[in-house]
Amino acid sequence: MSLSGPVESYELTTDTSNEVEVHTGDAAGAFAVARSEVEAQLDAAHKYPRSFAKFRQAAITMATSSREVAESCMYALPRGGKSITGPSIRLAEICASAWGNLHLGARVVEVTETEVVAQGVAWDLQTNTRITGEARRRITGRNGKRYDDDMIGVTGMAAQSVALRNAIFRVVPRGLVDTIYAAARAVAVGDARTLVDRRGEALQRLQKGGVTVERVLARVQKPTVEDIGLEELEQLVGLISSVRAKELAIDEAFPPVAGATETARAADVSARLRGAPPQAPKSAPAPVAVQHDADGVVS
């Protein structure tokens, strides 16, 4: 399946019943047409080979066209108490579009009681390199209950995206991908001069989603907001992007801190992010005047 531009997912189904009659002549004709189309595309791929310089320029231009696009090129997933960051399916789509001469496809190949299995395929017509990637996603909640059909469909789409991303990044050399990712990261995260503003904006966006400062600090393993640097900000941007792409639930990205309440400092940061005035520290209660009568009884 040839795709140019945003990648669409599809699913193949096989009818094994006897209700469909297959005519050998028709099948042979369809095969001949499909083969001629592939041969034409292969000829075009060899006739108009890609330019690495043009690929790099086109991909960076698309990936850095806006800050929003640059942020979508990043993802982060919690692993072992930390967050692993990297190029997302959106960046894979950009690379595929700029790379050219590609056939791409993705489909769900199996749905079990506990997981959905998806397969992604990337076929480079110029080098005749065909890569198949696979991804598995859980379809049960923390309580062990299986998702409903709609949620299984959403999870299947997410699994297809992951499988297709993996296939594309095995066809397009990772060294080139890393260069494009670095350019997108610079636009999305910024540098030391913009750190304070970008950090505040990220925290504010999370606040609107119901994520407290305490949960953010627990995720990036930092004691205070001021300790969040560029590396941690990259994790936050990637996690926000993954939540937007429905690859992560908000509580998976930023788990609630069990049995903890916001410290006074974190609560003050939360209030300022919401635009509320910081709360003045509570003063000690005024001493109560105690009077004694002549017999020494408190009145």
Domain ranges of the chain: 7-12+41-189, 191-276
pLDDT per residue of the chain (299 residues) written in tens, 0 to 9: 333 343 333 333 333 333 334 344 566 666 565 666 666 666 666 677 789 999 999 999 999 999 999 999 999 998 877 889 999 999 999 999 999 889 899 999 999 999 999 999 999 989 888 999 999 999 998 888 999 999 999 999 999 999 999 999 999 999 999 999 999 999 999 999 999 999 999 999 999 999 999 999 999 999 999 999 999 999 999 999 999 988 888 999 999 987 655 554 544 544 554 444 444 444 444 444 434 444 333 33
- Look up tokens 């910081």; give the residue: 278
Beta pairing class for 102-111 and 129-138: unpaired
Assigned token pair, 105:
């496809």
Q: How far apart are CA 175 and CA 85, in angstroms?
A: 16
Q: How far apart are CA 6 and CA 91, in angstroms?
A: 10
Buried residues in 158-189 as b, exposed as e (16+ CB within 10 A): bbbbbbbbbbbbebbeeebbeebbebbbebbb
Q: How far is CA 24 from the centre of its chain?
A: 46
Q: How far apart are CA 45 and CA 124, in angstroms?
A: 9
Alpha helix (H) residue ranges in 64-212: 67-72, 89-99, 149-171, 174-189, 195-208
pLDDT at residue 99, rounded to an integer: 95
Beta-bridged to residue 103, according to DSSP, are: 123
Q: How far apart are CA 198 and CA 215, in angstroms?
A: 18
Q: Tell me the backbone φ, ψ of residue 74, rounded to 5 degrees.
A: -115, 150
232 near 195, Cβ under 8 Å? no
Q: How far is CA 239 from the centre of its chain?
A: 7
Assigned token pair, 147:
């998702």
Assigned token pair, 273:
């992010």
Helices 230-244 and 174-189 sit at what angle, rounded to 10 degrees?
100
pLDDT at residue 293, rounded to an integer: 43
Q: How far apart are the first and last CA of the chain?
A: 91
188 near 74, Cβ under 8 Å? yes
Q: How far apart are CA 71 and CA 91, in angstroms?
A: 10
pLDDT at residue 33, rounded to an integer: 58
DSSP-derived letter for residue 226 is G
134 near 107, Cβ under 8 Å? no
Amino acid at 104: L
